[in-house]
Amino acid sequence: MPVSGLVLILHSPVDNGAEVMRILEADHRFTCGLPVGNRLPVVLEAEDDETARRTHDWLTTLPGVAGVQVAFVGFDHAACADVASTRELPEGEPASASARPARP
């Protein structure tokens, strides 16, 4: 399950995104933060990557939204572990980035 940290850029900071927040808070997938100026932080919990992408596109069509910035995207740890455990690594290759030696 992808979890996306987004920042909605609003056309105007005057209403603090009240209408956008009302729309998003009616949808269980969203959690809204407090607006700062014309920016509204939002967390989206989507069912899958495709749904997250479609929802991102939908957010750009909301009245009052000038743009959407992606701050981070995280994935369900258990699902990532399942994929990592099935991936074959070349002989001697560390399984995680933290186990790799630092580059000069």
**pLDDT at residue 90, rounded to an integer:** 53
Helices (H) and strands (E) in the chain, counts: 3, 4
**pLDDT at residue 104, rounded to an integer:** 52
* More confident position, 40 or 103: 40
> Average pLDDT in the 3-29 region?
89
CA distance 65 to 103: 42
Structure-block tokens of residue 62: 């909301």
**So where are the chain's domains?**
3-75
**pLDDT at residue 12, rounded to an integer:** 83
Nearest CA to 63 among 7, 3, 8? 8
| Bridging pattern class, strands 65-74 and 39-45 | unpaired
Given a cut of 90, whether residue 97 has pLDDT beyond it is no
pTM equals 0.69
Residues 3-75, CATH architecture: 2-Layer Sandwich (3.30)
Mean pLDDT for the chain overall: 80
